[in-house]
């Protein structure tokens, strides 16, 4: 039968695995990432925003204060960057948590 593999070289090993090394590079696309955006408002206490950044985005105290102040001064800021399903979950968790505490704090998603 034609196309049958012969032993390669003197060691009797098949050269089948060599074929893999000659395939063209197959580049895998990176999954898209999403920014969880924290939006400013006039009613949510600064301390609550700092707490949210520590609880849901693993910021330390000084990182959390920095992000909160940026949002307070500019209107919005990035709380974290994640693959879609995680980002979507964070948005829901934070918005639910804020509502439960009676604050209008809102997070939204933006593709990076």
Which residues of the chain form contacts with ligand TYC (CB under 6 A)?
Answer: 38-42, 44-46, 49, 68, 71-72, 105
CA–CA distance, 71 with 88 (Å, rounded to integer): 20
Reference 71, options 92, 51, 46; nearest CA is: 46
Residue 95, Ramachandran bin (φ over 0: left; ψ between -120 and 50: alpha; else beta): alpha
> Sign of torsion, CA 8 14 19 20?
negative
Closest approach, Cβ 78 to ligand TYC, in A, equals: 11
The smaller minimum CB distance to ligand TYC, of residues 49 and 82, is found at 49
Q: Are 81 and 34 in contact (CB under 8 A)?
A: yes
Closest approach, Cβ 111 to ligand TYC, in A, equals: 20
The smaller minimum CB distance to ligand TYC, of residues 7 and 45, is found at 45
The smaller minimum CB distance to ligand TYC, of residues 48 and 88, is found at 48
Closest approach, Cβ 28 to ligand TYC, in A, equals: 36
């Amino acid at each position: 039968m034609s196309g049958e593999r012969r032993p390669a070289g003197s060691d009797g090993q098949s050269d089948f695995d060599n074929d893999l090394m000659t395939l063209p590079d197959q580049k895998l696309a990176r999954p898209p990432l999403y920014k969880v955006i924290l939006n400013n408002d006039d009613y949510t206490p600064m301390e609550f925003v700092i707490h949210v950044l520590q609880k849901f985005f693993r910021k330390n105290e000084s990182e959390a204060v920095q992000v909160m102040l940026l949002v307070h001064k500019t209107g919005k800021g990035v709380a974290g960057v994640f693959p879609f399903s995680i980002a979507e979950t964070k948005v829901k968790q934070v918005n639910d948590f804020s509502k439960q505490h009676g604050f209008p704090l809102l997070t939204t998603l933006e593709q990076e």
